[in-house]
Structure 1
């Protein structure tokens, strides 16, 4: 509510939006590296990603808890700002839409989202570990952080169709399969397209490599230590990097669970054109 009422968007703001555990850490790393590549080459020995967790390079709108850390911190950032949020479109501050700010949305197969969310929740210092079958029932009923994942996806999907110039809708699976293609697409949308010279010098590949899951996971800044990014809930930096694999759900969900969630998602997205 504080963010909705007090945050003032700027016309040149870019917002990275995902439902939790859909690849926001990767998207932050990519967007930051792409937009800052003229100051920090992806191959440089002092690139910020080597010394800063991706989560700390692009601030969230709603975190840390804004009653603890005022939004004034975001006001101090120089334009153009790169910001992130897990909030669905229905909760974004009105100024984001009114000013036509750029929005990059990344979604992921809901089955992989559930498995990743379950593992992450069990890592972040919560005393009670919820059994997977119970957590699955809640997820299937739409009881998730930031609301039902199908509503989260559908809101930005419809927005991307209506306002394709302002909203870039990406799928995690497709980006993992063709990272170079999607990094070029992302750079173009962010108004910093790669030049022919950059392409010929394999700058795109350098960005992809630096921001790859394996590279990020191996960095000391991401594999050790803990930081409180929310407010009262310190998390290990390594908690943001588990496997990052497409289709990992098959190692955790029963056939019955997979079919149930597939049926729910199909029903909820029917007629929209969005499929997983």
Structure 2
């Protein structure tokens, strides 16, 4: 939705779309300008909504058959009420915050439709403080985790999708009421693998003008791995992050895998 009025801004290598706040959550100005339209969006009962914190993955879910598949990065408190009122099926995907932070940092570096992230050190502080578009990662994942007990929400983890994609895709298929035979499942596994999707113009955002997304700075689909945060975090940053994470997640039963054993 924020892309709808990008023609109002000039991308000359310096300018970025400005931001403001909606109910305390940072959003780009084009989103803020049409917030009433977003909030009053009318969902249909057979809509399938995919919800993620930015750069948390599951682009492949877009390719699964459905009457209407929509995607949002909104935290649960900003979700248009009609989705819950119509009892829509919602797929939420969460990614461990360290890898999520790294991926989001590189995404902001290449995407001029978002604020400039600054240095890695500056971005580290912004992320911990929740001063990024779509708000705090901690609040986002906890909010949707709590909502899953009251609504038709299947909560998936990016790390599980990487480790056992067949099992997770079968879980998704059952959730949306699709019975997949082995041949179809194998085709989905192939076409939704990271390496194949990275070459797919329908998934890698290569069709978006360079003035908006500069893939030479960082590709939209960069690595898609688990544990890449180790190549960015200093020892001091990791210790500080862990201490902050322990405090902010103390009131939740959510657990994440930060690397594969």
**Category of TM-score, reference length = shorter chain:** 0.7 to 0.9
TM-score by length of 1: 0.73
| Counterpart pick for 1:155 among 105, 120, 143 | 143
1:33 corresponds to = 63
Task: Report how far residue 223 of structure 1 moved.
Answer: 6.3
Contact 1:105 1:168 in 2 (8 A): yes
Rounded to whole Å, the distance in 1 between the matches of 2:111 and 2:104 is: 11
Alignment-derived partner of residue 17 in structure 1: 51
CA distance in 1 between partners of 2:198 and 2:228 (Å): 17
Q: 1:115 aligns to what SS in structure 2?
A: helix
| CA distance in structure 2 between the aligned counterparts of 1:205 and 1:133, rounded to whole angstroms | 42
Structure 2 residues not aligned, in runs of 5+? 1-34, 257-261
More helix by share: 1
Which structure has more RCO (C-alpha within 8 Å, separation ≥ 6)?
1
* Matches for 1:67-106 after TM superposition, within 5 Å: 80-106=67-93
Bigger shift: residues 126-135 or 148-157 = 126-135
Task: Tell me whether 1:227 sits opposite 2:208 in the alignment.
Answer: yes
Other-structure match for 1:63: none
Instruction: Give the number of equivalent residue pairs.
Output: 219
Distance between the aligned counterparts of 1:262 and 1:181, measured in 2? 30
Partner Cα distance (2:86, 2:123) in 1:
38
Matches within 5 A, 1:1-276: 1-23=35-57, 27-29=58-60, 31-35=61-65, 80-125=67-112, 130-163=118-151, 166-194=152-180, 198-199=181-182, 202-219=183-200, 225-227=206-208, 234-236=212-214, 239-276=219-256
Normalised to the residue count of structure 2, the TM-score between the two structures is: 0.77
* Structure 1 Cα separation of the partners of residues 42 and 133 of structure 2: 24
Change in 2 beyond 3 A, CA 1:265/1:127: closer
